[in-house]
A and B are shown apart, each in its own frame.
Chain A
Amino acid sequence: MGRNRTVNDASARESNRELSGAEAVSSASAERTDAEIMLAVAAGDEAGYTYLVGKYHRQIIHFLFRMVRNEAVAEELAQEVFLRVYRSRESYRAEAKFSTWLYRIATNLAVNHARDTKYERTAQTVNLDEPDSETGSTPEVADDDPNVEQRMLREERMAAIRAQVAALPERQRMAVLMHKYQEMDYRQIGEVLKLSESATKSLLFRAYQTLRESLKAYA
């Protein structure tokens, strides 16, 4: 189930951790952290920028996709995220992890997008029967396919997950997406959302409680 991203994320987290504390100095000869690379970008290192975009674009697109549930919009917003990184490269300060900064920009763009398209979305109410927006349309399968029923069940479950996560209050939704799919720790989620670690946990807990109720039929 797309678990290969875990490796990338874990190594990203690992390299970021080096930044904090005195060991950053001792590991100076080791690979540079993303924050260090970003500081070099600010000083004109274009290759560093290309590296960071290459490293993070997949996970940012995935995050935005689950936020906006539309492939084209997610990629458009992701482009905007990285353009903003570029435009503001000279004002980057390595106070937070590079990825935290990145997610704050992404989160904010997604929130604004949600606000801008609010009328469109409320007009079309959440419908569990809507065709799968991710695979394009409901796949056309022969009626005598023995897997049809199974596939339909799976798709119904997926649609329910998407709809119920989308129905969460905005910040709970962002927290769940970061926690569940971006595999960020509570501190980093809290930094993105400007919450303490414990507030982040209780936000997440409320979200999972809500989902437990709304997804009861599928768990």
Chain B
Amino acid sequence: MPESKKHESTKPGHTGTEGSTEMNCKDMNSKMADLLLDPEQGDGEGNSEAASHLAECNNCRTQLDELRATMALLDAWEVPEPNPYFLTRFNARLEEERQAVPASWFERMRARFAYGSRMSLRPVAAMAMTVTLLLGGGAYLGFTDWTQPPPPPAQAAVVNDLQTLDSNAQLLDQLESISDQND
């Protein structure tokens, strides 16, 4: 990745002592995202106006510097390496998955939802699952006379993921626009 220059404000020939007509702070606002997020392009000729504004305007320059400093600050957040047994554990679980017949898939799902793992996730889902099982099977606790349910359609999980993500995205859009209005 090419090293990007950071000091567009020092570019010669754009001192612009009377250049305040070229670009104001409001125009600068829309340029700021590009300068921050696409620094390689930020120095391009097309942005010489922005550069000359930055050279003149303390406010905008400070803002950009602080934004860059904030981005750099985030580098400090390091995270631990994954557990060295992650792959071992995962392979065991995958093996379980591969050998599972549909009936035990159902059993496992129920166990997983109802008793949870150490995460104790999704009480609502657990209830839903239990209700489903009750409606669908009745004597699900027996499991012995359980006739095999149809295997889940392979694509369902991901299709659901994407659909949920879409509806989540819409919800988040709304939430965000609400919180933006409150800013």
A contact residues vs B (CB 8 Å cutoff): 1-2, 53-54, 57-58, 61-62, 65-66, 71-73, 75-76, 78-79, 82-84, 86-91, 101, 104-105, 107-109, 111-113, 116-117, 134-135, 154, 157-158, 161-162, 165, 169-172, 176, 180-181, 186, 193-194, 201-202, 204-206, 208-209, 211-212, 215-216, 218-219
- Find out whether the CB atom of B176 lies under 8 angstroms from the CB atom of A194: no
A82 to B92, CA, bound (A): 13
Q: B161 touches which one: A72, A104, A134, A172 (CB < 8 A)? A: A104
Contacting residues of chain B (32-90) with chain A, CB-CB under 8 angstroms = 32-34, 36-37, 63, 66-67, 69-83, 86-87, 89-90
Tell me if B128 counts as interface (CB < 8 A to partner A): no
Tell me if B5 counts as interface (CB < 8 A to partner A): no
18 contacts between A and B (CB under 8 A): A53-B87, A57-B86, A65-B80, A83-B93, A88-B155, A91-B158, A104-B162, A108-B161, A108-B165, A108-B168, A111-B165, A158-B76, A161-B76, A193-B169, A194-B169, A201-B33, A204-B37, A212-B67
Known contacts A72-B118, A79-B93, A170-B172, A161 near B86 by CB under 8 Å: no
Q: Please give 19 more A-B residue pairs, beta carbons under 8 A apart, in addition to A58-B81, A206-B180.
A: A2-B78, A54-B87, A72-B119, A87-B97, A104-B165, A116-B125, A117-B121, A135-B80, A170-B175, A176-B74, A180-B75, A194-B165, A202-B33, A205-B37, A208-B36, A208-B70, A209-B67, A216-B66, A219-B73
Residues of A with C-beta under 8 A to B70: 208, 211-212, 215, 219
Main secondary structure of the interface of A (DSSP, over half): helix
Residues of A with C-beta under 8 A to B93: 79, 83
7 nearest A-B residue pairs (beta carbon): A91-B155, A205-B33, A219-B69, A88-B158, A212-B70, A61-B82, A108-B161
Contacting residues of chain B (7-29) with chain A, CB-CB under 8 angstroms = none
A127 to B75, CA, bound (A): 21
Known contacts A169-B172, A219-B66, A116 near B122 by CB under 8 Å: yes
- Find out whether the CB atom of A1 lies under 8 angstroms from the CB atom of B78: yes
- Find out whether the CB atom of B154 lies under 8 angstroms from the CB atom of A208: no
- Find out whether the CB atom of A154 lies under 8 angstroms from the CB atom of B76: yes
Residues of B with C-beta under 8 A to A201: 33-34, 37
A26 to B126, CA, bound (A): 51
Known contacts A83-B93, A104-B165, A161 near B74 by CB under 8 Å: yes
